[in-house]
Amino acid sequence: MQQISGGITAPKGFLAAGVCCGLKTVGNDLAIIYSQEPCVAAAVFTSNRFQAAPVSVSKQHLASASAFHAIVANSGCANCATGEQGIRDAQAMAEITAAFLNIPEDSILVASTGKIGTFLSMDKIKAGIRDALSTLNKEGGLAAAEAILTTDSVPKQVAVKLVIQGKQVIIGGIAKGAGMIAPNMATMLAFLTTDAMLSKELLDKMFRNAVNSSFNSITIDGDTSTNDTATILANGASGVVLNESDLDVFQAGLNHICLELATMIVRDAEGATKLLKIHIKNAPNQDMARTIGLSIANSTLVKCALFGADPNWGRILCAIGNAGIDIDLGDIDVYVGQMQLVKNSCAWEFDHAEAHRILSMNEVELTVDLKQGDHEAVVLGCDITTEYVGFNAHYST
Amino acid sequence: MQQISGGITAPKGFLAAGVCCGLKTVGNDLAIIYSQEPCVAAAVFTSNRFQAAPVSVSKQHLASASAFHAIVANSGCANCATGEQGIRDAQAMAEITAAFLNIPEDSILVASTGKIGTFLSMDKIKAGIRDALSTLNKEGGLAAAEAILTTDSVPKQVAVKLVIQGKQVIIGGIAKGAGMIAPNMATMLAFLTTDAMLSKELLDKMFRNAVNSSFNSITIDGDTSTNDTATILANGASGVVLNESDLDVFQAGLNHICLELATMIVRDAEGATKLLKIHIKNAPNQDMARTIGLSIANSTLVKCALFGADPNWGRILCAIGNAGIDIDLGDIDVYVGQMQLVKNSCAWEFDHAEAHRILSMNEVELTVDLKQGDHEAVVLGCDITTEYVGFNAHYST
């Protein structure tokens, strides 16, 4: 696997564009990703029971269509809590694009991010779609990555080149992050493309695997947004149809793209100063490991301690105990970097100054050894800062 | 029901004391509550799977004994993550007290709050127990309430007088709060006393009812501590043995004490500036209502918005959708005070300046009408402030 430059337009056969149509006060706010060749698609959506209109519409299209050609996404408005009008507007985003491209409506997936409870300005959307379609190009990936940002400070894109059956297969992706979005909750959007060909079932399974250990293993503040969408299009333009023996290589590439994008999202979390990488080792199974990791990463107290570089391991044990996991908690070791803080779930002598130094770095690795199984998971989180609270408090809708 | 002055020593036959034995750097830190007459006891403990040593020991005593005489509690050290030594120390707290009073060890319940991962100084504890026993008195309730505080700013006590069978029955209580405890997590301790007489089974059932709608319906930061303990002693000194027909009156008294103490805890939450009272109406059942209320109260985004008095209702819908409750979310109304913010889960025109004014008050009432059933619950929460984050970050263990 080789990481290469570019994002969603790195794989063969994909064009993209990002344009400014006035939904945000500044910057690109409408993105289109397009493949002339029909694509197989897979997607994972928010687990929040409130779902934004574009999530509903994209789900319908994924259920009804077998070939996909484009993703249309906007920032600046989440089109959520907008009722029937919101559904009509999300459908119209697909209809307008389909009419211009002369393709079926349900071959298009839609996504939105931004303010909740406001309606899309469809005049702006229509003009933006026309503008984007007229500028679709092979270098448009970065402009598209910019067009889905809200309070993110940097665009996020990555691509890898794999060699499969002696040929070049590329996977690319863009994402927008989970800093809090003024004035509402974060949306995690990720769009991936690949020029490999594989069945819908296989793409779905492999994409879910990759999402579980990346986008589903990160947390900023524990609030799952109403608009979260991760989707992948595979157009087969590489000429490679994946065989059984190619799956490990492709899965590794997919995992790499998703984990890189997920890491970029956490690094760019609003107000955060530190990335926390939690490694849960020797768990009875991977789900338990991830649940425990997320419980630690979501603990406000752990996040405060991380902000202050305080080796306050009692908060870590407390969060493990609150994870709702039915395992023995009597024998846990906790390390920060290489330094042991807890042995067999009990206090352990360590150098507090050195622990403080390790916790002061902008990337902190925490290891929890449960000693009861051989499964593991890595979860990414961040600190909570006074800046985060201030930002999310003092914006008035 | 009449609220009267005093706390745990208001009911007949209870004495208490609070003394300073040096576990904290300042103030009382060891409390004893005592009844010469044998008591029936009930208790509810933390749901955290990490349990402090005094929790384990008190559970053992509740299982083995049928008559209880005293509660011994200290602040300044949680006696948690202290292994076998911690268990021996918690047992010793009971043994020392029992030896002085010439009563069985298992007639004594123990509790600790304070720093996790440090051992009790048993010399100080022993001297403190002797000191407290020599000063037990009818006005000692307040001193005991002071002795269990950590970062609380005020002692918390309340008592009510009921008339049952023409006689006076009193219930009293003290509690310590759920501000964050330097340097570790909060502990919620609540000790109640009553001079009514009733069976262990009935006391247990009625106490759990009261705890569910009070201490189990509050949240500061979603972290359940390792030491949480709520317990009640009933000594029958009023001469009143409760009949079936008296239960409603007694339950109302018990509920009142628990809810008053729970409200005091939230009001005194560290760094918090506002009490948030969430009323979930017309739910399919009470558990669902409470779960939804707690999901809102625990949302960092909702807490930030409350801090900033921002009528950011999208965060409320998002938290409802994240509660993991399988109900229809299409028809929800949300009010702050009397002002409607959301109608049928959609955006609704309201006066933002007026909503901001309501949210700026130090007690905010939020009503969520689910319109699918006739059950309800009230949950108490608070805002998250820059002060909270700063305090809990910059304490270095």
Average pLDDT score, chain A: 91
Task: Look at residue A185 and tell me whether its pLDDT is greater than 60.
Answer: no
CA B320 to chain A, closest CA, distance in angstroms equals 8
Average pLDDT score, chain B: 91
Q: Supply the pLDDT for residue A283.
A: 96
Same domain, A288 and A382: yes
CA B196 to chain A, closest CA, distance in angstroms equals 36
CB < 8 Å to B221, chain A: 300-301
CATH of the domain at B66: 3.60.70.12
B392 is in an annotated binding site: yes
CB contact under 8 A, A223 and B388: no
Q: CA angle at residue B178 from B172 to B183, to 5 degrees?
A: 130
Same domain, A286 and A159: no
Dump pLDDT digits (tens) for A211-226: 988 888 887 777 777 7
Dump pLDDT digits (tens) for A314-337: 889 989 988 888 888 889 999 999
B307 to chain A: closest CA residue:
A393
Of B183, B345, B356, the CB nearest to A81: B345
Q: Which of A113, A187, A224, A385 is catalytic?
A: A187
**Strand partners for A167:** A164
CB < 8 Å to B368, chain A: none
Lowest mean pLDDT among A150-154, A246-250, B104-108, B205-209: A150-154
B150 is in an annotated binding site: yes
Q: Supply the pLDDT for residue A179.
A: 54
Same domain, A250 and A286: no
CB < 8 Å to A388, chain B: 304, 389
Same domain, A208 and A334: no
H/E element, B380: strand B375-382
CATH of the domain at B297: 3.10.20.340
Q: Supply the pLDDT for residue A159.
A: 96
Which tokens go with B283? 């739910």
Domain count, chain A: 2
Same domain, B324 and B232: no
User: Quick count: other Cβ atoms within 10 Å of Cβ A297?
Assistant: 26
User: Quick count: other Cβ atoms within 10 Å of Cβ A85?
Assistant: 15
B48 touches chain A (CB under 8 A): yes
Task: Look at residue B180 and tell me whether its pLDDT is greater than 60.
Answer: no
Dump pLDDT digits (tens) for B194-226: 999 999 999 999 999 999 888 888 877 777 777
B358 touches chain A (CB under 8 A): no
What is the biggest distance separating any 2 CA atoms in chain B, rounded to whole angstroms?
69
Task: Look at residue A244 and tell me whether its pLDDT is greater than 60.
Answer: yes
Q: Supply the pLDDT for residue A388.
A: 81
B397 is in an annotated binding site: yes
CB contact under 8 A, B321 and A347: no
Q: Supply the pLDDT for residue B327.
A: 87
pLDDT confidence tier of residue B394, bands split at 50, 70 and 90: low
Domain holding B173, by residue range, is: 2-267
Lowest mean pLDDT among A26-40, A214-228, A375-389, B97-111: A214-228
Of A118, A304, A323, the CB nearest to B389: A304
Q: What residues of A form the annotated binding site for substrate?
A: 150, 176, 187, 270, 392, 397
- The CA distances from residue B241 to A200, A309, B258, in Å, are 71, 56, 21
Same domain, B130 and B52: yes
* Rounded-to-integer distance, Cα A21 and Cα A28, Å: 7
Restricting to A residues 314-343, those with a Cβ less than 8 Å away from any Cβ of B are: 314-315, 317-323, 325-326, 329, 342
Dump pLDDT digits (tens) for B361-386: 999 999 999 999 999 999 989 998 88
Same domain, B263 and B289: no
Of A184, A323, A347, the CB nearest to B118: A347
Task: Look at residue B388 and tell me whether its pLDDT is greater than 50.
Answer: yes
H/E element, B132: helix B122-134
List active site positions of B: 187
B397 touches chain A (CB under 8 A): yes
Task: Look at residue A181 and tell me whether its pLDDT is greater than 60.
Answer: no
Lowest mean pLDDT among B65-69, B96-100, B317-321: B317-321
Q: Supply the pLDDT for residue B220.
A: 74
Last-in-domain residue among B218, B237, B267: B267
* Rounded-to-integer distance, Cα A305 and Cα A310, Å: 5
B118 is in an annotated binding site: no
Same domain, A257 and A282: no
Restricting to B residues 203-222, those with a Cβ less than 8 Å away from any Cβ of A are: 221-222
CA A259 to chain B, closest CA, distance in angstroms equals 24
Dump pLDDT digits (tens) for B275-298: 999 999 999 999 999 999 999 998
Restricting to A residues 238-297, those with a Cβ less than 8 Å away from any Cβ of B are: none
Of B183, B317, B325, the CB nearest to A81: B317
Same domain, B35 and B64: yes
A87 touches chain B (CB under 8 A): no
Across the range B45-62, mean pLDDT stands at 91
CB < 8 Å to B179, chain A: none
A232 touches chain B (CB under 8 A): no
Last-in-domain residue among B213, B243, B267: B267
Of A47, A317, A319, the CB nearest to B81: A317
Same domain, B252 and B349: no
Q: Where are the beta strands (DSSP E) in B196-315?
A: 229-234, 275-283
H/E element, B307: helix B300-307
CB < 8 Å to A386, chain B: 386, 389-390, 393
CA B353 to chain A, closest CA, distance in angstroms equals 10
Last-in-domain residue among B232, B267, B302: B267
* Rounded-to-integer distance, Cα B115 and Cα B78, Å: 5
For B87-109, give the DSSP string: HHHHHHHHHHHHHHHTS-GGGEE
Q: Supply the pLDDT for residue A394.
A: 65
Same domain, B17 and B144: yes
For B6-73, give the DSSP string: -STTSSTTEEEEEE--SSSSSS--EEEEEEEEEEEEEEEE---SS--HHHHHHHHHHHH-S-EEEEEE
Same domain, A242 and A327: no
Q: Supply the pLDDT for residue A178.
A: 61
Instruction: Give the amino acid at B281.
Output: K
